[in-house]
Structure 1
Amino acid sequence: MGAGAPRGAGGQDGADRGAGGFGGLRASLSGLTTRGRSFLAAGVAAALCAYVLGQGELLRVGLLLAVLPLICVYALHRTRHRVTGSRRLTPGRVGAGAEARVHLRMDNVSRMPTGLLMLQDRVPYVLGPRPRFVLDRVEPGGRREVSYRVRSDLRGRYPLGPLQLRLTDPFGLVELTRSFSTYDTLTVVPRTEALAPVRLAGESSGYGDGSRRSLALAGDDDVIPRGYRRGDDLRRVHWRSTARYGELMVRREEQPQRSRATVLLDTRRLAYEGAGPDSAFEWAVSGAASTLLHLLEQGFSVRLLTDTGDCVPGEGGGFTSGGQESAEAAGLLMDTLAVIGHSDGAGLSRAYDAVRGGGPGGGFGAGGGDGLLVAFLGDLDDAQTELVARMRRRSGGAVAFVLDSAAWSGRTAPGPARPAGAAGAEPVGRLRDAGWTALAAPPGVAFGELWRQAGNAPLGAAAAGGRG
């Protein structure tokens, strides 16, 4: 078995092919097991004692013990195997806490059978114990398939491999290990919840009735025609364009424009305390993932924005739902959230510039940062609270979920209920005064329940006053 071939397309099916023995003779000698070294040492010692004592019977026993490991080494060294290995993940992207199955396949493509093989795959400790399998003798052209499961409560990207193959002799005196060269990657995305289709304050529907439409017809000379499709109204046929293009053309009188939504995720390190799957930051990441998937299903064009001003998908981009495009959008967003970590920033000024249209993430369609804005925020001081309050635009809804990291880390206990007027001094109350639909996220709360509360929450003071 020698060098490996490149892995399969997409990283879901890796394959290695090798030819020849398991290294040189010196490498084969280094493969002696503890039993093999013991046999060799005992044989040498017996031969020396037989020479000193003049015992011919003992000399023959010593030679047998010493030569047997060497014969096994030579036999494995001369053994020529051609084997291929492949790995397949199902699925290649799983949610935190869910299981994925890894399928391994070994093919003997040589003209001679193999001996007893031990197959071992290298996996990170967080995914579980290292899987090991013992394969019986594989006949020429034969195949062996095994599988194992992996699971992680922590999101991230984890390498699987390379695959290791061990060949032993029948006596267990020599063990040679060789590794394939390819590996695959398992992506563990944040946990998500199915959200109820609620109507948020200031939100327009994602696609269809209630969403804005851009007229594509200013006059008979400015018409933008398109090819006739089965089911089109014949009264919309544009005969002048039909004569010009030589095929039936119809008027494209108006184009529906999808509503836009921005999901802001606060990743500042100083805004969160604690770590692990039950920390406040992981709750915020999971909530952002659930919101993005829900909005894509509702027909929104969405983007993910962080406090650093970074935007996914790129500067000024957005995804539209529908068919394969929606699946690709969800995959890219989940892959981004799978590896997102804390930032070293101290404020939300870059996110403010992006939402208001002046930063690198601005320009999310016409109007910059208008549309629905959903924010997941950590600890906020007075300056950052004021900055977030000014992010909201009059033309769209704004929903904020504010986390108190001290409460999540268990350092503070919930105090007595405050008077109604005292809430204005807190970040949640100040955001509500600015027109946000703001809710506090206490430790252990299910995001789906907060989402329903956001749909039933009254408008903030500024939003209610603007509508009046």
Structure 2
Amino acid sequence: MAAGGPAAMDDGDEKGGLRTALGGLTTRGRSFLAAGIAAAVCAYVLGQADLLRVGLLLSVLPLLCVMVLVRTRYRVTGTRRLTPSRVPAGTEARVHLRVENVSRVPTGLLMLQDRVPYVLGPRPRFVLDRMEAGGRREVSYRVRSDLRGRYPLGPLQLRLSDPFGMCELTRSFSAHDTLVVIPRTEPLPPVRLAGEAPGYGEGRQRSLALAGDDDVIPRGYRHGDDLRRVHWRSTARYGELMVRREEQPQRARCTVLLDTRRHAYQGAGPDSAFEWAVSGAASALTHMLERGFAVRLLTDDGTSVPGEGTGGFAGSAQESAEQAGLMLDTLAVVGHSGGGGLSRAYDVLRGGSEGLLIAFFGDLDEEQAAVAARMRQRSGGAVAFVLDSADWGQGDLPPAGSGTASEERLRLLRDAGWTVLAVRPGTGLADYWRQAGHQGAERASAWPVAGGGTTGFSGGWS
């Protein structure tokens, strides 16, 4: 895709006036000019005509080069293209640059330079040979970042120089582009989570068109309808061919909750607890979208993405790719929130319908653990990944008794029906995801049913 449209550069406009050109004198040009003035002054004092001629030559040469650059008119266009424009952290993207001379005058030696943030690598520079009228040159370079974010690229700059290297003029294009570095994601195993329903579900996840012959809402026959779906009683009543409506599948829902409270995490950088939580949320929502779920991303401050449709979920399965891109773009720039609690996220979940809840929590105190426990009441199933600061602290010893307090808060979540996993450094989400499936299976097998015994839980593969 073309990440940047063509932009023209005219080296003969008002911006490239004489004053700007004089400011572009190189060290060589300034030295020649200073030496020429000094020689002319000495020649005047000493009365040496030959020295005066040498001084005039040294002074006129850089000024002549300036006038040549000012009078020379170039029409150059530049285009930038990113492949791809959205990359995971730690993955390279290639930037393609194309410069075209659209004037009838050939250019001189050009130096091409693109502005990039330092986190993406060194500033790329290219030397372009003489470009004929109507000619074009294409170059490319790579960028890479271990930190997620949105990084501007540009503007593209061209530096013009005379053959003697006395003067250099820099011209900038106006086009800017953006490289989006999204969090790393990892593939998750196809395990079954407690309370999970399949992407297009059965039972309560499917809205049937009829419940019996007396509870039929027929519609008119359309070309291509199966004749086996003809409802003869309605056909006789209305005097035209009527058919039963098809089953209307409803997409099962999943909410991915990300705790972004600043004081809930310790440390910073790619290997910090917060970055693990962001990467885990990105992996979870991508995995659930691939399984056909309607997914939304929710943060502790109550912000919901994508934010459209019923309850903030996307409206149809065809929107999954666009929805995933929107949520990953949000995670690319998400930072710590200034809020102190999870109450606003609880208010959003309290008004919603049943669905799977996957939460990534930082350090939970007693109050926030109680709020998180209440979230389970409105969810068909809940899985919590808790990143305790006592395990993720960098160089600081945990306070006395912190391990016991953490276990008590985890037990509070389990008693409320959560499947809880304490996340520790150095382990990927896939391993914890598999453990969540095992715990969910054990919890489901222990549920009593009418008539005695136990039963497994219904639900699909995630």
Q: Same fold by TM (over 0.5)?
A: yes
Q: Helix, strand or coil: the match of 1:393? A: helix
The residue matched to 2:312 in structure 1 has which SS?
A: coil
User: Could you tell me which residue of structure 1 aligns to residue 457 of structure 2?
Assistant: none
2:415 to 429, 433, 437: 433
Q: Does 1:317 align with 2:308?
A: no
How far residue 322 of structure 1 moved from its aligned partner, in angstroms, is 3.9
Go from structure 1 to structure 2 and tell me whether the alpha carbon gap of 1:221 and 1:279 turns closer, same or farther (over 3 Å shift): closer
Corresponding residue of 1:113: 106
Q: Does 1:37 align with 2:30?
A: yes
Q: Judging changes above 3 Å, is the alpha-carbon distance between structure 1 residues 79 and 399 closer, same or farther for their aligned structure 2 residues?
A: same
Let me know the Cα RMSD of the aligned residues. Answer: 3.0
Identity fraction in percent: 69
Pairing of 1:19-30 with structure 2 (within 5 A): 19-21=10-12, 23-30=16-23
Native 8 Å contact 2:97 2:140 kept in 1: yes
Alignment check: 8 A CA contact 2:349 2:378 kept: no
**Match among 4, 23, 41 for residue 13 of structure 1:** 4
The one-character-per-residue Cα deviations of 1:312-365 (angstroms, maximum 9, x if unpaired) are 111622126644x211011011011111111111111111111111xxxxxxxx
Whether 2:341 is the aligned partner of 1:343: answer: no
Shift of 1:202: 1.4
Task: List runs of 5+ in structure 2 lacking aligned partners.
Answer: 455-462
Secondary structure in 1 aligned to 2:82? strand
Quote how far apart the aligned CAs of 1:459 are: 6.3
CA displacement, residues 381-422 of structure 1 (integer Å, 9 cap, x when unaligned): 11111111111137611100000123213346799xx99xx7
CA distance in 2, matches of 1:157, 1:430: 39
CA distance in 1: counterparts of 2:373 and 2:394, whole angstroms: 28
Aligned twin of 1:291: 284
User: Partner amino acid for 2:109?
Assistant: L
Deviation at 1:461, TM superposition (A): 7.3
Aligned 1:67-466 pairs, distance under 5 A:
67-209=60-202, 212-217=205-210, 223-225=217-219, 228=222, 232-237=225-230, 250-314=243-307, 316-319=311-314, 322-323=317-318, 325-357=319-351, 368-393=352-377, 396-411=380-395, 425-458=407-440, 464=446
The TM-score, its normalising length taken from structure 2, stands at 0.88
| Matched residue, 1:363 | none
CA contact (8 A) 1:296 1:321 kept: no
Whether the 8 Å contact between 1:305 and 1:311 is mirrored in structure 2 is yes
Which is further off, 444-453 or 136-145? 444-453
Question: Aligned runs of 1:45-84 on 2, under 5 Å?
Answer: 45-84=38-77
Residue deviations 1:181-217, cap 9 Å, x none? 1100000000000111110011111124466111234
Taking structure 1 as reference, are residues 209 and 62 closer, same or farther at Cα in structure 2, changes over 3 Å only?
same
Any gaps of 5 or more consecutive residues in structure 1? 1-9, 358-367
C-alpha distance after superposition, 1:417-465 (max 9, x if no partner): x99xx79952222211221110000012111111111111156879956
Q: Are 1:31 and 1:174, in contact at CA under 8 Å, matched by a contact in 2? A: yes
**Shift of residue 56 of structure 1?**
2.0
Q: TM-score, normalised by structure 1?
A: 0.87
CA distance in 2, matches of 1:93, 1:264: 23
Counterparts of 1:284 and 1:42 in 2: how far apart (Å)? 64
Q: Distance in 1 between matches of 2:66 and 2:290?
A: 62
Question: Displacement of 1:237 after TM fit?
Answer: 3.8
The residue number in structure 1 matching 2:460 is none
Corresponding letter in the other structure for 1:236: R
Q: Compared with structure 1, are the counterparts of its residues 136 and 341 closer, same or farther at alpha carbon in structure 2 (3 Å cutoff)?
A: same
Amino acid at match of 1:431: L
Q: For 1:391, what is the secondary structure of its paired residue?
A: helix
Partner SS state of residue 39, structure 2: helix
Deviates more, 1:197-206 or 1:422-431: 422-431
Alpha carbons of 1:224 and 1:51: their partners in 2 closer, same or farther (altered >3 Å)?
farther
Distance 1:28 1:144, change over 3 A: same
Give 3-state SS (helix, strand or coil) of 1:390's partner: helix
Greater shift after overlay, 395-404 or 93-102?
395-404
